Chain A
Amino acid sequence: MDTTLSQTAGIADHGHGPAKGLGRWLFTTNHKDIGSLYLWFSLLMFLTGGCMALMIRAELFQPGLQLIQPEFFNQMTTMHGLIMVFGAVMPAFVGLANWMIPIMVGAPDMALPRMNNWSFWILPFAFTLMISTLFMEGGGPDFGWTFYAPLSTTYAPPSVTFFIFAVHMMGFSSIMGAINIIATILNLRAPGMTMMKLPLFVWTWLITAFLLIAVMPVLAGVVTMMLMDIHFGTSFFNAAGGGDPVLFQHVFWFFGHPEVYIMILPAFGIISEIIPTFARKRLFGYASMVYATSSIALLSFLVWAHHMFAVGMPLAGELFFMYATMLIAVPTGVKVFNWVATMFHGSMTFETPMLFALAFVVLFTIGGFSGLMLAIAPADFQYHDTYFVVAHFHYVLVPGAIFSIMAGVYYWLPKWTGHMLNERLGKAHFWLSFIGVNITFFPMHFVGLAGMPRRIPDYALQFADFNAVASVGAFIFGFSQLVFVYNIISCIRGGERATDQVWEGSHGLEWTLPSPAPYHTFSKPPLIK
C-alpha cells in the first residue's frame, strides 16, 4: 500500500514494481492493491453511513421534529442500513480476504486477478448510483434496508429502480469476489499447505464465499421480481394480481439470515487469528471451530422466518422456526467458549488488536444473548420491530463485525505498511469507541423493552432520556473514528520499523514475509514444513 515499496532481497521479483500514478489503481490486478482499494472504499462508506447515523441520532436526541422531515429520516435509516451492510462491512471483509488469503496459503496472487479488479471497481459505481437516488425527485429509498413490499413496490419513490440496479451491481461484485476466493483457496495453495493446515481466517472465508454464492443470487432474484412488479405489470408481491407481500418477506429473509452469517463468520476468523497471537497459545479446539462454521453454511438456511414471527404464521410454522433457531444458535454461540479457553492459562499482552478482539468477545456475546431472547417466539411478539431488535443487531454488527475489522486492520497494518502503529493512538481510539458503542446501543435495549418501535423519527416522552444518552454516545463513537483514520494514515507515512514477525506470538505464513510485504510475494511457492 505504501507507494514507495522497498524491494528487499531474497524474494525473487520480476523487477517491475507497481505502475505509477492513477493507472496503478485503475488497472491493478495485484491482490494487495485491490485489497487496499476495498479497505479504503469500505472506510469511506463507513464514514458516509456513519454520518447518516449521526443525522438519525441528532433528530432523535430530543422528542419533536427538530432537524429533518419524516420522509428524509426514513431515507437516512434506509441508506444507513444499506451502506453499512453492503458498503462498509462486506467490502472490508473482502479487502482483508484479498490482502491476507494469498499470503496465508502461499499463493502468488488471487486465482483470477482481472476478475478481482472488476469485482472491486463495480462497487464505487454501484454506491454512486445508490447515493445519487437521494438527490432524485421523490427522494431516495425510504422503505428500510429490508425494503418490504408493497411499501417498496407500489408505494416507492420513482428512484427505486436505481436502487434495484445498484443492488444488482453489488450482488455481481460479491459473487465474483466469492468465486475468486474459493478458486484461490482450493487451487492455489502452496504444496504442503493442506486443507488441514489452513488458518481459521481462510476457513471462515471459504464458508462465507459458498454462502455468498448461494444467497446473493436470491437477493438479485427478489429485486428482479420487484423490478418486474413495478415496471412490467407482474404481481409477485401485489395482492391485487394474486401475489403476496409475505412471499417477499420469505424470499428476502431466505437471503437475509445467511447474509448475517456472511457478515459475522469472517469476524470469527479474524478473532481466531488474533487471540492466539496475543495469548501466546494455540487456538483451543481448531477442529471444532472448522466443523461448527462449516455446519453453519447449511443450517443458516433453515431459520429465516424467525424474522417474521408477527406476520401471522400458523402455529406449526412458529414452533418449527423457534426450535430450529434455538438449536442452531448453540453451535455458533458456543464458539465464544473456544476463545475464552484459548486465553485461559495463556500469557497475554494487550496491544490494540487484542483490545478490540476482547471487546468483540464480550460485546458480541451480549448481542448473542439478546438474539437468544428474540428466538423465544411468544416473547418476540413484544420485541419484534422495537429498539430491542435495533440494540441486538447493532451489538452483533458494531462491536461484532466492525470491531473485528478494526482489530484485523490494526493486526495486519504493520505487515502492510512496514511501520508499527502508534499504540497510544490505537488505545485512545479503542477506549473512545468502546465507551461510545456502549453508551449508544445499551440504552436502546431499555427503550425497546419499554415500547419504542423501530424506524420512527419522533417518540413519546417516556423514551426521551435514554434516547438523549444514545445520541451522545453516537457522536462520541462517530467522531472517535477520525482517530482511527489519523492513526492509519500516520502508520502508512512513518513510524517505528516493523520486524517480519511484527507480533511476538504470531504464527503463519504471512509472518514469514518481510514487512512491508513486497508487491509480488510467493512467486515461487514457499516451503511448508
Chain B
Amino acid sequence: MPDPKKNGLLTAVLSALAAMFGVQSDRNRQKDFSSGSPLRYLLTGVLMAALFVVGVILLVRLALMLAGA
C-alpha cells in the first residue's frame, strides 16, 4: 500500500487523464483511493473537462484554418 501522504496534484491530473482515456492500472487506483478527500479529484476532473472543451475548440479552429475557411 503506497504511504497515504497527500497525493500531489500531478497524480490527480494523471488519474483524470486516465479516466478520460478509459484505462487505469489497479496500482494507481489504490494510490488514488488511499489519499485524502475525493474533492481534489472532483475539481481536477472538472478542470480537465474544461481543458478538454478548450482543446476541442482549438482543434476545430485548426481544422477550419487548414481548410482555408
Within 8 A of B (CB), among A277-336: 285-288, 290-292, 294-295, 298-299, 301-302, 315-316, 319-320, 323-324, 327, 330-332, 334-335
Q: Is A320 a contact of B33 with CB atoms below 8 Å?
A: no
B53 CB to closest chain A CB, in angstroms? 6
Per-position 1/0 for B29-69, Cβ under 8 A of A? 11001000000000001101100110011011101100001
Residues in A neighbouring B45, C-beta threshold 8 A: 294-295, 298
CB distance from B52 to the nearest CB of A (A): 7
Q: A316-B64, A319-B63 are in contact. Are A195 and B22 (CB under 8 A)?
A: no
Q: Are B24 and A288 in touch, CB under 8 angstroms?
A: yes
Cβ-defined contact, A334 with B22, below 8 A: yes
Q: Closest residue to A319 on the B side, CB-wise?
A: B60
Answer yes or no: A461 CB below 8 A from chain B CBs: no
| Residue B28 at the chain A interface, CB threshold 8 Å | yes
Nearest residue (CB) in A for B69 is A315
A523 within 8 Å of B (CB atoms): no
Across the interface, do B52 and A302 meet the contact criterion of CB distance under 8 Å? yes
Q: Are A292 and B63 in contact, CB atoms less than 8 angstroms apart?
A: no
Q: How far is the CA of A332 from the CA of B22 in the complex (A)?
A: 7
Are A299 and B33 touching (Cβ within 8 A)?
no
Q: Using CB atoms, name the residue of chain B closest to A326.
A: B56
B33/A302 in contact, CB under 8 A = no
**Bitwise interface map of B from 1 to 38 toward A, beta carbon under 8 Å scored 1, else 0:** 00000000000000110111111111011100100000
The residues of A that contact B57 with a CB separation of less than 8 Å are 320
* Other-chain residue from A286, A294, A324 in contact with B26 (beta carbon distance below 8 A): A286
Q: Are A288 and B33 in contact (CB under 8 A)?
A: no
Our count of residue pairs bridging A and B at CB distance below 8 angstroms stands at 74
Residue A154 CB within 8 A of the other chain = no
* Distance in Å: Cβ of A497 to nearest Cβ of chain B: 38
> How many angstroms between the C-alpha atoms of A330 and B19 in the bound complex?
12
Interface contact B20-A299, CB-CB below 8 Å: yes
How far, in Å, is B63 (CB) from chain A's closest CB? Answer: 6
Complex contact B56–A320 (CB within 8 A): yes
- Find B29's partner among A291, A316, A330, A334 (CB 8 Å cutoff): A291
Check if B24 sits within 8 Å of A291, measured CB to CB.
yes
Knowing A298-B49, A319-B63, A327-B56, the reply to whether A290 touches B24 (Cβ < 8 A) is: yes
B59→A335 contact, CB < 8 A: no
With A320-B56, A323-B56, A323-B60 known to touch, is A291 a contact of B46 (CB < 8 Å)? no
Is A66 an interface residue when CB atoms closer than 8 A count as contact?
A: no
Q: How far is the CB of A73 from chain B (nearest CB, A)?
A: 40
Q: A291 contacts which of B22, B52, B59, B63 (Cβ < 8 Å)?
A: B22
Residues of A within 8 A of B60 (CB): 316, 319-320, 323
**Residues on B with beta carbons closer than 8 Å to the beta carbon of A291:** 15, 18-19, 22-24, 29
Say whether A194 faces chain B, with CB atoms less than 8 Å apart: yes
Residues of B close to A331: CB separation below 8 A: 19-22
Q: Would you call B30 and A302 a contact (CB within 8 A)?
A: no
Which residues of chain A are within 8 angstroms of B26 by Cβ–Cβ distance? 286-287
Q: Are B24 and A323 in contact (CB under 8 A)?
A: no
Q: Which of A195, A291, A294 has the most C-beta atoms of chain B within 10 angstroms of its own C-beta? A: A291
Most buried by B among A195, A286, A290, A294: A294
Q: B1 → chain A, closest Cβ, in Å?
A: 10
When distances are taken between beta carbons in the complex, the residues of chain B under 8 Å from A298 are: 45-46, 48-49
Q: Is the CB of B15 within 8 A of A195?
A: no
B15 touching A196, Cβ below 8 Å: no
Q: A295-B19, A299-B20 are in contact. Are A319 and B29 (CB under 8 A)?
A: no
Q: Which residues of B contact A195 (CB under 8 A)?
A: 33
22 A-B pairs with CB atoms under 8 Å apart are: A194-B33, A196-B30, A196-B33, A287-B26, A287-B28, A291-B19, A291-B24, A292-B19, A294-B19, A295-B45, A298-B45, A298-B46, A299-B20, A301-B49, A302-B52, A316-B64, A319-B63, A319-B64, A320-B56, A323-B60, A324-B53, A334-B22
Query: 4 new A-B pairs (CB below 8 Å) besides A302-B52, A315-B64?
Result: A196-B33, A291-B24, A316-B64, A320-B56
B residues bordering A, Cβ < 8 Å? 15-16, 18-26, 28-30, 33, 45-46, 48-49, 52-53, 56-57, 59-61, 63-64, 69
Which A residues form the contact surface with B (CB < 8 A)? 194-196, 285-288, 290-292, 294-295, 298-299, 301-302, 315-316, 319-320, 323-324, 327, 330-332, 334-335
Closest CB pairs A-B (n = 6): A331-B22, A295-B19, A287-B29, A291-B19, A292-B22, A291-B24
